Amino acid sequence: MRLLKKLQHRVGVALSPQEHYTRAFSQGVLLGRDKYAAAAQLFEQAARHAGQAQDAGLQRRANANALLYGFLAGGSPQTLSPLLQALDGLDDIEQIGSQAEFVDAKALHHELAARLAEATIAVLDPSAHLERARHHRGAARYFEAIGGQALITYAHRPDSLGIERADLRSFFHDGQARYHEALDQAHTDPEAAADAMNEALVALLQAPAKDQQQAAERWLERLRTQRSCWSCGREFLGAELHYHHVPATVRGYVVEVLRRAGHDLASVDLSSQRVVLCATCGTMVQTIADAQAVRRVTELRAEVEAQFAGLQHQLAGLERRVNALSVR
């Protein structure tokens, strides 16, 4: 009898829903990470059998585990939404990789909700700052709610960030939310944006996220740098955002003229032969230059087409003569 049961479990025939559920552990979960995809399929089977037997409790549990192990095995982040719904119906769930130990379903729910936010951010337009900020803020809140506890899923399905503590991930996302809010604000108020970027940097310094720290540092520097436009003379904050350095002839005499007039010497650069243009003056010059270029191209095309028509005429004449020769 015991041998028969073992055999049934091995091949999965004539099993009760509960036995199917147990089989997902013995033939999947408990065999280690390589078998998580198999575990997901076995949990799906168990959920189906539980559904047929109208065992709603077991069906919920099996369904949640099917989605969980599917995600851990590298499944699409799109499984996260239904997984979160499935976890809502549970008080606790088996700890990942175990059958006997249980964890609070709410803690896992918070972590996976944060991972859903992270997955959403990954596919957002890089310039959609406010939307990115919103999802980073959401992730920060979920990680904050988990607090100082170790995270559960990242050891099984790591991401590129490599932070396995909830509080540190919360700092990271808080910093990133502030970073993107600052970039959005930079267009209208670079001074306030610099303050926001400074707060972003403070948060990012608490999370081990070197690249993001450096990006925030670079922006902070840019937002706090002020230059006068060579063309309109107004002062602008925000290097390479509200003003740019544009190649131009800069002679020593020009620097001298600025010095005597008491104007901003930083609006010209003798060594790199560049001047500062605010974004408005810069785009104005650009627009005029573009219009000029389009006009010149149209003129050239007309000339070339006239020449081309002449060549085609000559070619047709030559062809007629060659044909006449070959007929003879």
Stretch that binds Zn ion, among 82-90, 251-259, 274-282, 309-317 (CB under 5 A): 274-282
68 touches Zn ion (CB under 5 A): no
Q: Rank residues 18 and 231 by Cβ distance to Zn ion and give the closer one.
A: 231
Provide, rounded to whole angstroms, the least separation between the CB of residue 254 and Zn ion. 9
The structure tokens 């939310």 sit at 177
Q: Quick one: which segment of 107-115, 134-142, 229-237, 312-320 binds Zn ion (CB under 5 A)?
A: 229-237
What span, in angstroms and rounded, lies between the C-alpha atoms of 316 and 271? 58
- Tell me how far, at minimum, the Cβ of 83 lies from Zn ion, in Å: 53
Pick the closer one to Zn ion by CB: 10 or 259.
Answer: 259
Closer by beta carbon to Zn ion, 62 or else 278 = 278
Contact 46, 23 (CB under 8 A): yes
Distance of alpha carbon 142 from alpha carbon 82, whole angstroms? 18
229 touches Zn ion by CB under 5 A: yes
268 binds Zn ion (CB under 5 A): no
Among 87, 90, 207, 278, binds Zn ion (CB under 5 A): 278
Distances (CA, A) of 108 to 31, 58, 71, 104: 22, 19, 13, 7
In eight-state DSSP terms, residue 82 is H
Listing DSSP states for 26-87 in one string gives HTTGGG-GGGHHHHHHHHHHHHHHHHHTT-HHHHHHHHHHHHHHHHHTT--GGGHHHHHHHH
Using CB under 5 A, which of the segments 170-178, 205-213, 263-271, 276-284 binds Zn ion?
A: 276-284
Q: What is the CA radius of gyration of the chain?
A: 33
Q: Where along the sequence are the contacts to Zn ion (CB under 5 A)?
A: 229, 231-232, 278, 281
